Structure formats: structure tokens, C-alpha cells
């Protein structure tokens, strides 16, 4: 397969068709692809021969084609000549989603790439990546908005049961057919993206115990669960479940989480319809045996191979606040993009009132507790009350897991899945929430729950989840808590930087906290990051310093200037606001000069000035 090729060109290669050169042939290829997709066995074969981005793009177009306006189909098939981006007819072009998906269809099935000059090919590929991602985000917002409209218009169906055998058939169908808001789930792993790496152990929900699968076994579908627990471990205490788990489990403080002895019962109520579960406490040995390090080093592959992913927000006791916030944001979207076609103007005041309560994703906190494990950082809600997010949003390990699987389903403490809709309940994925709430550039003049969610996403840096750049994981980690010296271990799989860990584990060397650069990361880890990502590793700036210090530098006392110690690496000491890398470095595929400098990238003068003005301390 050609990951950078269009779906249309890949279709021609697979089915040995002549290259298209006109609009009619492009439309013919499109109908041919739809015919293949309508036949189950052919569909699976066709999709398996496409790259992740190509398959995702094709699924977006299929959804758009069948579920929405007839006028769209008429607009495409009615043209006699090739128009690169000819406007849709007025009936089909009145809202953003339709225009973006139409643009995606043009890129994928017409001759945008054909006969391009060599020096334009990379630019065109970059544009195709942008068109695909923009369409995926628009589709996620539109999908969520229609489900929320059904919820407001027709009322909610009974809440989703925590018993997976009783989940509504619509929910199961939606889970099977879910489409992420990020077109390529693992873009940051690049050329070293791992093949599917199945875990050594899984939890069997039916038998209520940990089971081993041999590498030669036919591996069953399973679901990965993301949760946080490390900071609530009680030192020196363990729990043994000899008939359930083949190693001692760490004892956790039940005042914050759950009693580990109750895990078999807790996992028996897991709602996603897979028999097998990957849950770290019962699937990664916790007693220091060599297999523990091996499994930790394979997190990217394990998450990649999972059929579903779930974030367990085990401090959340219901979804009323979040559901009201989603409903308000979705109705606002529909009213802005389509006028009052849905007749929702009269519903907005009622939904605004419901969304004026807390979202449920944050809890009250005291300012003096900031920086503690239970409360790494705080923010102010719309009423200027101090709150801290649910602890899942402040864990470094869960940052990696969210980056690996942004298409996570949300479950509360009792395993109630977050869904919205009428009779057709739609599970709302983590990246769908990000796409929806990031449509608003400012949290002003929105209901309290919407404001709270927007600030939470911004503070936790999850707002970039659908368009992540590799080293952003290091910058976003600035606001995240890690219970020990394993900060690098917590994020290395998402970066694809694990060789240093394999070497260290092979000689059984423990990390000395004194050897951590800026108190955070081992030098061997940072050297591998630099080797992997090049000069961009040293291209980060601190926007807070830019705003607060740089323009006042001439008036500062020399002793103050001398104290402005830092680096241009993607992280700092302590809990800091994340650093910033200019979009040119992220998306223009910069190449390194042999001297180790960025070239083929035009960086704005102000950024260059700051880079020169800051002091680079040797590591």
C-alpha cells in the first residue's frame, strides 16, 4: 500500500484499473468502491489493503454518502467536467460538514495528485493529510450533534446498563462502527509504528481470572482500560488473590479508589462486549519479574491491537452535567451551521439552564493543596471557585494512553457508559468531546459546564489530542503527575522511544533520581528522543516567559536576568505551563541540516529572537 496515496488511486491499483483522467471516471471508481464495501468479505479485504488514514477517510466518505443529503450525491454526479474545488449546489453547500466532506471526496477520488510536478508532491501530500484530518474532526462534531439533537428532541432512552449483556443493540452497533476524530490513530509513531503486539496476559471476564495466551494462539478481541492508581498505592502493603491473579497486587487507598480485593467483582460488571479485558493491575506482573518490563515496553502495540479502549473515570458518579454540556454545544453548532432548520431555537434556553451546573469532571479543591499528588494543579470555574480535575486528567500514564487511543469510550465509577441520543444511543468518544468543545475559541459567554470542560481540556493539554505532534507529549507532561521516577517510562511508548529502556532493563539497573535531567528524564531517554526527532527537540519556547519577561528584559536587574535559567528542550523543572513549538516545525516536515539545525522551515522572527534570548543549558 501507499500510505500517502489517495483512496481512488489505491482502488485502481488493487483492482488493476486504468488511471482516471476525468470526472466521470472518478465517479465510476467511487461507485465501484461503494459496491465493494457493501459486500462483507470484499469489504474486509479491501480495507485491509489500505493504510490506516486511507481506510479512515473511506469510512468517513461512506458515512457521509449514505446518511446525509441526497443533494450531495446529485451535486457530485451531475458535473461533466473536472472542477478541482467547484462549489456544491446551494442546497448541498449550506453547512461546513458537507463542504469539508465534499472536499475530501474531491481529493480522494479525482485527479488532484495526477501529473503533479515532483517539487509539489510533498506539499500536496501535506495538504491531503490536512484535508483528511479536518474532515474527520468535522464528522465527529456532526455525528455528536445529531445524537444530541435526538436527545433534546425525543428524550433520552433508559441509561446504558453496566451489564454488557443488556446493552442496547444500537449501542453495540455504534461501538462496532465507531470512527475516530483522528484520521490516523498513531501518526506520531511514524515509521517505527509497531505491528500488533498482543499482551502476555488478559483478564477473562467470564471466568473471573487472569489468563495467559501463547504467541501461537489465535488471539481473541479484547478491550484496554485506562485508569489511574499509582499515587494512591499504600507502601509496603499487598493483596493476594491466588485463584484469580498469579502475582501479589499493590494495596490501594479505598478512600480514593477501590479495594483491590473487589477487583474480580468490579471487572465482572465491565460493559464493553468483549470477553477479555486488558487492565494493567491484573495483566502486567506487579512483582518485578522480567516480564513486567517487557509488557511496559510494549504498551503502544498492546493498545494498538485492542478492539476497543475505555477510560474508567472511577471518581465520576454520573453523566448529567457532561451530557447537558454536550447537548448545549451540539445545538449551538447545529444552529450556527444550519440556521434553525432543526427547529431548536426554542430549546436552547432550556438546555443552557441545564448546562449551567458543574460538568461533573472536576471537584472542589483548596488552593494550598496545589502541587500534591491528589491535586497537581487547579483552575477556576465560572463562579471563580477553585476546582481540580478528575485525577485521570492529571496522570502522566493516562496521557500516553489517551494519545495511543483517542477513541476511548468514557465510563463512570459504576461502569455506566457515556452516551447521548434518543432510542439510538450513541457512545461519545474522548476525541469527539475534544473536537466538539474545541470549536469554541474562548470560554466566555458559555454555560458553566461548557466553560469548565473547555478549561479542563486546555489545562490538561488534551485539546490537541486530534492533531498531536510527537514531542507535544513531553510538553503536555509538564502538568501531569507521576508517582515515581518513571516519567520517561510513562510516555516512551507513545513516542516510539524505547531502546534506552530495553538496554536498561537487560542489565537490571535502577534509575538514580540524581541522574535525571532537570529532575525529570534520564539522559539516555532524551538522547534517543533527540536522535529520533532531530533539531525540533531544541526548538521549543516558553510562551509565559515571552509574555512576562522578554519584552521587559532591558529594564530588569542583571541578577534577575542571570536567574532566567532554562533550556529550549520540550520540558522544564516542576509543574510548568507547557512550552510551545511553532506550527511550521510541526506540519511542514522540517529536515535537519547536518550541523543539527532546522532548515527548510521558515520560523518567524519573534520566535528566533526568543530562541536566541534564552540560555541553553548543557545536558
pLDDT in tens, 513-544: 778 888 889 999 999 999 988 888 888 777 55
- The residues, any chain, with a CB within 8 Å of residue 315's CB and separated by 6 or more, are 256, 363, 390, 391, 392, 413
* Final residue belonging to a domain, choices 96, 115, 134: 115
**Number of domains making up the chain:** 2
Q: What is the mean pLDDT of the chain?
A: 79
Q: Which of 409-413, 459-463, 513-517, 602-606 has the highest mean pLDDT?
A: 409-413
Contact partners, residue 235, CB within 8 Å, separation at least 6: none
Report the distance separating Cα 563 and Cα 549, nearest Å: 12
Which residues on adjacent β-strands are paired with residue 375?
372
Q: Is residue 29, in this structure, part of any structural domain at all?
A: yes
Asked if residue 92 belongs to a domain, the reply is yes
Q: Are 252 and 155 in contact (CB under 8 A)?
A: no
Question: What confidence score (pLDDT) does residue 175 get?
Answer: 76
Average pLDDT over residues 172-181: 80
Pairwise CA distance, residues 499 & 505, whole Å:
10
State mean pLDDT over 326-331: 92
Is residue 251 a part of any domain in this protein? no
Q: CA 528 to CA 367: how far, in whole Å?
A: 38
Q: How confident is the model at residue 574 (pLDDT cuts 50, 70, 90)?
A: low
Least confident piece of the model among 136-150, 367-381, 441-455, 601-615? 601-615
Distance CA 174, CA 455 (A): 29
Length in residues, the chain: 619
At which of 115, 132, 157 does a domain end? 115
Rg (CA), the chain: 25
**601 burial via Cβ count (<10 Å: 0-12, 13-18, 19+):** middle
Q: At what angle do helices 96-109 and 118-154 cross, to 10 degrees?
A: 140
Indicate whether 573 pLDDT > 70.
yes
Band of pLDDT at residue 512, cut at 50, 70 and 90: confident
Domain of residue 105 covers 7-115
Domain assignment of residue 424, yes or no: no
Q: How far apart are CA 270 and CA 412, in angstroms?
A: 11
pLDDT at 18: 73
Long-range contacts of 554-557, Cβ-Cβ distance < 8 Å, separation of 24 or more:
none
Among 99, 115, 131, give the residue marking a domain's end.
115
Is the residue at 206 inside a domain? no
Give the Cα separation of 360 and 448 in Å (integer). Answer: 11
Query: Would 202 be classed as within a structural domain?
Result: no
430 domain residue, yes or no: no
| Confidence (pLDDT) at 459 | 84
* Nearest alpha carbon to residue 394 among 413, 376, 367, 369: 376
146 near 422, Cβ under 8 Å? Answer: no
Say if residue 346's pLDDT is above 90.
Answer: no
Summarize the chain as % helix, strand, coil (round to 5).
50, 10, 40
Per DSSP, helices labelled H in 224-305 are: 263-268, 280-283, 290-296, 299-305
Identify the band that residue 561 occupies on the pLDDT scale cut at 50, 70 and 90.
very low
114 vs 319: CA distance, rounded Å: 49
* 190 pLDDT higher than 50: no
The model's pLDDT over 70-117, given as tens digits with 9 standing for 90+, comes to: 666 666 665 544 444 444 444 455 578 888 888 898 889 887 555 444
pLDDT band at 382 (very low <50, low <70, confident <90, very high): confident
66: pLDDT strictly greater than 90: no
**pLDDT value of residue 174:** 72
Residue 617 has a pLDDT of 30
Which residues have CB under 8 Å from 597's CB, separation 6+? Answer: 535
Taking only the tens place, the pLDDT of each residue in 9-60 is 899 999 888 766 677 788 888 889 999 999 999 999 999 999 888 999 999 9
Instruction: Check whether 251 has a pLDDT greater than 90.
Output: yes
The pLDDT of 150-168, averaged and rounded, is: 64
Amino acid at each position: 500500500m501507499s500510505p500517502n496515496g489517495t483512496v481512488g488511486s489505491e482502488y485502481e491499483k488493487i483492482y488493476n484499473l486504468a488511471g482516471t483522467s476525468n470526472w466521470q471516471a472518478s465517479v465510476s471508481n467511487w461507485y465501484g468502491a461503494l459496491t465493494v464495501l457493501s459486500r462483507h468479505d470484499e469489504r474486509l479485504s479491501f480495507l485491509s489493503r489500505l493504510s490506516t488514514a486511507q481506510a479512515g477517510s473511506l469510512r468517513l466518505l461512506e458515512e457521509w454518502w449514505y446518511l446525509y443529503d441526497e443533494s450531495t450525491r446529485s451535486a457530485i454526479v451531475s458535473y461533466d467536467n473536472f472542477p478541482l474545488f467547484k462549489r456544491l449546489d446551494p442546497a448541498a453547500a449550506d453547512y461546513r460538514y458537507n463542504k469539508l466532506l465534499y472536499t475530501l471526496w474531491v481529493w480522494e477520488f479525482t485527479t488532484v495528485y495526477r501529473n503533479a510536478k515532483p517539487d509539489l508532491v510533498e506539499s500536496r501530500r501535506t495538504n491531503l493529510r490536512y484535508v483528511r484530518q479536518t474532515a474527520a474532526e468535522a464528522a465527529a462534531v456532526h455525528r455528536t450533534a445529531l445524537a444530541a439533537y435526538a436527545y433534546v428532541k425525543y428524550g433520552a432512552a433508559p441509561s446504558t446498563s453496566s451489564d454488557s449483556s443488556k446493552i442496547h443493540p444500537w449501542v453495540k452497533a455504534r461501538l462496532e462502527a465507531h470512527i475516530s476524530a483522528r484520521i490516523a490513530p498513531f501518526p506520531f509513531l511514524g515509521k517505527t509504528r509497531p505491528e500488533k503486539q498482543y499482551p502476555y496476559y488478559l483478564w477473562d471476564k467470564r471466568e473471573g481470572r487472569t489468563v495467559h495466551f501463547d504467541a501461537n494462539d489465535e488471539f481473541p478481541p479484547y478491550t484496554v482500560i485506562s485508569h489511574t492508581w499509582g499515587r494512591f498505592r499504600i507502601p509496603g502493603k499487598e493483596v493476594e488473590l491466588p485463584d484469580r491473579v498469579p502475582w501479589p497486587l499493590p494495596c490501594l487507598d479505598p478512600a480514593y479508589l477501590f479495594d483491590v480485593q473487589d477487583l474480580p467483582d468490579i471487572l465482572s460488571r465491565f460493559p464493553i462486549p468483549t470477553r477479555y479485558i486488558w487492565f494493567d493491575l491484573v495483566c502486567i506482573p506487579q512483582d518485578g519479574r522480567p516480564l513486567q518490563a517487557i509488557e511496559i515496553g510494549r504498551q503502544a502495540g498492546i493498545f494498538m491491537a485492542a478492539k476497543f479502549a475505555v477510560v474508567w473515570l472511577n471518581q465520576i458518579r454520573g453523566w448529567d452535567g457532561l451530557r447537558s454540556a454536550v447537548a448545549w454545544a451540539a445545538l449551538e453548532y447545529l444552529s450556527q451551521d444550519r440556521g434553525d432548520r432543526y427547529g431548536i431555537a426554542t430549546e436552547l434556553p432550556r438546555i443552557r439552564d441545564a448546562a449551567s451546573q458543574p460538568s461533573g469532571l472536576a471537584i472542589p479543591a483548596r488552593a494550598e493543596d496545589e502541587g500534591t499528588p491528589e491535586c497537581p494543579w487547579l483552575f477556576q470555574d465560572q463562579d471563580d471557585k477553585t476546582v481540580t480535575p478528575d485525577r485521570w486528567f492529571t496522570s502522566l500514564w493516562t496521557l500516553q494512553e489517551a494519545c495511543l487511543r483517542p477513541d476511548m469510550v468514557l465510563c463512570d465509577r459504576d461502569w455506566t457508559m457515556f452516551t447521548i441520543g434518543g432510542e439510538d444511543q450513541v457512545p461519545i468518544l474522548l476525541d469527539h468531546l475534544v473536537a466538539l468543545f474545541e470549536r469554541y475559541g474562548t470560554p466566555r459567554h458559555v454555560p458553566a459546564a461548557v466553560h469548565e470542560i473547555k478549561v479542563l481540556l486546555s489545562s490538561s493539554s488534551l485539546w490537541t489530542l486530534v492533531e498531536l505532534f510527537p514531542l507535544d507529549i513531553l510538553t503536555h507532561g509538564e502538568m501531569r503527575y507521576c508517582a515515581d521516577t518513571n516519567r520517561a517510562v510513562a510516555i516512551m511508548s507513545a513516542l516510539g522511544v524505547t531502546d534506552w529502556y530495553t538496554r536498561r532493563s537487560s542489565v537490571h539497573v535502577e534509575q538514580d533520581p540524581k541522574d535525571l535531567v532537570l529532575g525529570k528524564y534520564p539522559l539516555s531517554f532524551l538522547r534517543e528522543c533527540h536522535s529520533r526527532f532531530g533539531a525540533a527537540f531544541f526548538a521549543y519556547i516558553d510562551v509565559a516567559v515571552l509574555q512576562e519577561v522578554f519584552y521587559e528584559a532591558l529594564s530588569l536587574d542583571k541578577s534577575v536576568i542571570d536567574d532566567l535559567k532554562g533550556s529550549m528542550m520540550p520540558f522544564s523543572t516542576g509543574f510548568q505551563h507547557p512550552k510551545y513549538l511553532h506550527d511550521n516545525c510541526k506540519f511542514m516536515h522540517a529536515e535537519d541540516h547536518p550541523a543539527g539545525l532546522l532548515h527548510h522551515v521558515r520560523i518567524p522572527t519573534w520566535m528566533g529572537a526568543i530562541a536566541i534570548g534564552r540560555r541553553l543549558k548543557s545536558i
